[in-house]
């Protein structure tokens, strides 16, 4: 067992003169199942294909893309585990100083819009080599999309990257089908029949019975048309019910085939049972290693997908709403491998996925009919068909924590607290507090204003408050002092200054100020981003207030940490604008004190 080749020297050691696939990625090379590059490359290897890795190439030097030679079948391209623009910029569009997926955490090792840059460089190096793009950056940009950083509608990344084919979603099924098609001699231009892929064509008759979206020109000129297009895309993210979608440009069509069928339990097991080195390539050791491996090295991915339906989350467009879970046997086997590692200290950092306590499909009907197009599982209230049961997850956690050599199993993925509260069959809260947290539990209510929570697709705040009460009573019963660390989002569509002040008052009454706060970040592929750009909720086409100016976004963010000296002026200005003079004073309900020097009072 060894890392895949990263040089011609590595290829010679294996006796290889040519590779089938060359994988170009924006991350450093980490061979761990938490990294998409590792999963896809090892899967191809398992099917007998020769794969090499070009990680974080110098995009200004074309020779970096030639270092492994021309592949026999295709180049594969992704930006890495994270969108390159999110990786580089904060919600206020300021450059980030660190990149946990790069050696030593150093920023600047990948370009902005990495998929586009890499694709064009490969095309420059090899004029006619097939190029297949995938990963989160490609998946969420598969059709025309609002780009927050340019503040405009950009074309499908398939066009701007110069690639031949785009894989959306997680990609395992698609990549093997594509590899077999290429190996059999089918030209890349003719591989237009694989679900979970997007292709371009000048032939309007090639897609079979598609839904035709508003054209690129239409959505650029009309926000209503953009919202209409987004809604159709949102309604076609399920493998069972999704249709072929077509988006017209001037002289060609971008065709999105229906989503790929979700993986079976056996297929999920096979992917994660595959042998990985489970660490970063040794070339990075002298540079300080790859920080991103720290939290995931001894974590276990137990499932994919999420039926939570948060509007600010891109999972619906990338992994889908159907839960795909691994077997207990596979997960226990992975945990037992940890124990054999000399560096393992007995602590498993997480067993979970997008939402840790989702281990089953949300309802039985999904098997034959897919997820509902116009109905959520949990929002605004739980569906009558929702299967609410933590039994399987509790049993899994027990099995893993009872492995000899395991001291503690933490649950650090998101726990959906409303799902916990709706469960009348098992006391998951007791199990969690007793065995799977240490001092504090991170939970994401996201806001306290029900008006904003509705725009987020989150439950009313009273559900969260009920969970807090149950959590406290459970810890009291156990004789433990354990706390909740809530995550809140500022500046989300629907949030006025009035709502932001309401959140600040809630934080005041909590008795502690959050150390970190998050401002809403419009990224491709989310309902909330569509709201941000259009001012319309695409799910019901109703108008939504959007805090867009940096000044208001800064004020809403500052209100969440109203006690910081550097936030004083922003908080003062926000309270004046919100007509909340009652919160400026020296009593217990005040957020800030009055200016001592009246001459310095800011006039608004």
pLDDT tens-digit map of 326-354: 999 999 999 999 999 999 999 999 999 99
Q: According to the model, what pLDDT value does residue 516 have?
A: 80
Q: According to the model, what pLDDT value does residue 150 have?
A: 97
Q: According to the model, what pLDDT value does residue 517 have?
A: 85
Residue 604 pLDDT > 50: no
CATH number of 8-200: 3.40.50.2300
Q: How many CB atoms lie within 10 A of CB 234?
A: 19
pLDDT tens digit string along 15-74?
Answer: 999 999 999 999 999 999 999 999 999 999 999 999 999 999 999 999 999 999 999 999
| Positive or negative torsion for Cα 139, 142, 145, 150 | positive
- Cα(389)–Cα(194) distance, rounded to whole angstroms? 35
Return mean pLDDT, the chain. Answer: 95
Q: Would you place residue 596 in the very low, low, confident or very high pLDDT band (cuts 50, 70, 90)?
A: low
pLDDT tens digit string along 230-253?
Answer: 999 999 999 999 999 999 999 999
pLDDT tens digit string along 361-374?
Answer: 999 999 889 999 88
Mean local confidence (pLDDT), 400-424? 95
Residue 505 pLDDT > 60: yes
pLDDT tens digit string along 120-177?
Answer: 999 999 999 999 999 999 999 999 999 999 999 999 999 999 999 999 999 999 999 9
pLDDT exceeding 90 applies to what percent of the chain? 94
Mean local confidence (pLDDT), 75-99? 96
pLDDT tens digit string along 456-473?
Answer: 999 999 999 999 999 999
- Cα(26)–Cα(114) distance, rounded to whole angstroms? 7
| Extents of the domains making up the chain | 8-200, 298-436
Mean local confidence (pLDDT), 262-278? 96
Mean local confidence (pLDDT), 486-496? 97
Q: According to the model, what pLDDT value does residue 512 have?
A: 86
Mean local confidence (pLDDT), 251-272? 96
- Cα(338)–Cα(122) distance, rounded to whole angstroms? 39
The CATH class of the 298-436 domain is alpha beta
What predicted TM-score, i.e. pTM, was given to this entire model? 0.94
Q: What are phi and psi of 23, to 5 degrees?
A: -105, 115
- Cα(281)–Cα(266) distance, rounded to whole angstroms? 29
Beta bridge partners of 537: 542
Residue 382 pLDDT > 50: yes
- Cα(580)–Cα(589) distance, rounded to whole angstroms? 12
- Residues contacting residue 5 through CB under 8 Å, at least 6 positions apart: 11, 13, 14, 16, 19, 51, 52, 53, 68
- Residue whose C-alpha is closest to residue 366's, from 341, 389, 346, 383: 383
- Cα(149)–Cα(130) distance, rounded to whole angstroms? 29
Q: According to the model, what pLDDT value does residue 603 have?
A: 46
pLDDT tens digit string along 299-322?
Answer: 999 999 999 999 999 999 999 999
Q: Strand ranges (DSSP E) for 380-429?
A: 408-409
- Cα(430)–Cα(451) distance, rounded to whole angstroms? 31
pLDDT tens digit string along 416-451?
Answer: 999 999 999 889 999 999 999 989 999 999 999 999
Q: According to the model, what pLDDT value does residue 280 have?
A: 97
- Cα(225)–Cα(248) distance, rounded to whole angstroms? 13
Q: According to the model, what pLDDT value does residue 338 have?
A: 97
pLDDT exceeding 70 applies to what percent of the chain? 99
Q: According to the model, what pLDDT value does residue 374 have?
A: 86
Beta bridge partners of 299: 350
Mean local confidence (pLDDT), 172-195? 98
Q: How many CB atoms lie within 10 A of CB 454?
A: 18
pLDDT tens digit string along 530-540?
Answer: 999 999 999 99
Contact criterion met (CB below 8 Å) for 40 and 80: no
| Positive or negative torsion for Cα 25, 27, 31, 35 | negative
Mean local confidence (pLDDT), 557-562? 96
Q: According to the model, what pLDDT value does residue 404 have?
A: 97
Determine the longest span between alpha carbons in the chain, in angstroms: 80
Mean local confidence (pLDDT), 588-599? 78
- Residue whose C-alpha is closest to residue 77's, from 16, 19, 36: 36
């Amino acid at each position: 067992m060894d890392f895949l080749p990263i040089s011609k020297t590595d290829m010679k050691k294996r006796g290889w003169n040519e590779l089938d696939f060359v994988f170009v990625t924006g991350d450093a090379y980490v061979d761990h199942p938490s990294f998409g590059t590792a999963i896809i490359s090892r899967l191809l290897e398992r099917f007998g294909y020769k794969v090499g890795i070009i990680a974080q190439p110098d995009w200004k030097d074309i020779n970096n893309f030639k270092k492994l030679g021309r592949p026999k079948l295709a180049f594969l391209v992704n930006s890495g585990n994270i969108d390159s623009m999110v990786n580089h910029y904060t919600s206020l569009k300021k450059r980030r100083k660190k990149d946990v997926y790069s050696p030593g955490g150093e920023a600047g090792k990948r370009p902005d819009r990495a998929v586009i840059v890499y694709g064009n460089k490969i095309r420059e190096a090899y004029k006619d080599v097939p190029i297949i793009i995938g990963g989160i950056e490609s998946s969420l940009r598969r059709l025309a999309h609002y780009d927050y950083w340019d503040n405009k509608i950009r074309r499908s990344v398939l066009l701007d990257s110069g690639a031949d084919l785009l894989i959306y979603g997680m990609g395992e099924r698609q990549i093997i089908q594509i590899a077999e098609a290429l190996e059999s001699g089918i030209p890349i231009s003719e591989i237009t029949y694989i679900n979970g892929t997007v292709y371009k064509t000048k032939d309007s008759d090639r897609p079979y019975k598609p839904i035709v979206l508003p054209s690129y020109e239409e959505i650029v000129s009309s926000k209503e048309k953009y919202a209409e297009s987004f809604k159709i895309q949102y309604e076609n993210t399920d493998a069972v019910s999704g249709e072929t979608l077509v988006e017209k440009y001037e002289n060609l069509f971008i065709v999105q085939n229906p989503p790929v069928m979700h993986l079976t339990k056996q297929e999920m097991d096979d992917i994660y049972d595959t042998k990985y080195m489970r660490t970063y390539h040794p070339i990075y050791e002298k540079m300080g290693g790859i920080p991103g491996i720290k939290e995931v090295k001894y974590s276990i991915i137990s499932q994919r997908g999420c039926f939570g339906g948060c509007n600010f989350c891109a999972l619906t467009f990338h992994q889908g709403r159907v839960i795909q879970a691994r077997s207990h046997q596979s997960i226990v086997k992975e945990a037992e491998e940890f124990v054999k590692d000399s560096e393992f200290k007995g602590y498993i950092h997480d067993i979970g996925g997008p939402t840790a306590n989702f281990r089953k499909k949300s309802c039985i009907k999904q098997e034959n009919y897919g997820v509902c197009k116009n109905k959520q599982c949990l929002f605004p209230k739980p569906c009558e068909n929702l299967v609410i049961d933590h039994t399987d997850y509790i049993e899994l956690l027990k099995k893993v924590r009872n492995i000899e050599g395991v001291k503690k199993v933490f649950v650090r993925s998101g726990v959906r607290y409303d799902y916990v509260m709706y469960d009348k069959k098992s006391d998951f809260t007791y199990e969690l507090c007793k065995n799977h947290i240490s001092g504090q539990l991170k939970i994401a209510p996201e806001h306290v204003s029900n008006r904003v929570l509705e725009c987020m697709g989150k439950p009313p705040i009273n559900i969260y408050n009920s969970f807090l009460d149950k959590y406290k009573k459970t810890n009291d019963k156990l004789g433990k002092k354990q706390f909740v660390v809530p995550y809140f989002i500022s500046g989300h569509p629907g949030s006025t200054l009035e709502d932001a002040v309401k959140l600040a008052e809630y934080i005041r009454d909590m008795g502690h100020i959050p150390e970190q706060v998050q401002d809403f970040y419009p990224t491709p592929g989310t309902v909330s981003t569509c709201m941000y750009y259009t001012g319309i909720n695409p799910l019901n086409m109703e108008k939504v207030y959007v805090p867009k100016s940096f000044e208001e976004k800064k004020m809403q963010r500052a209100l969440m940490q109203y006690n910081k000296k550097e936030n004083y002026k922003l908080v003062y200005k926000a309270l004046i604008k919100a007509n909340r003079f009652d919160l400026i004073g020296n009593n217990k309900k005040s957020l800030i004190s009055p200016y001592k020097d009246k001459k310095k009072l800011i006039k608004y």
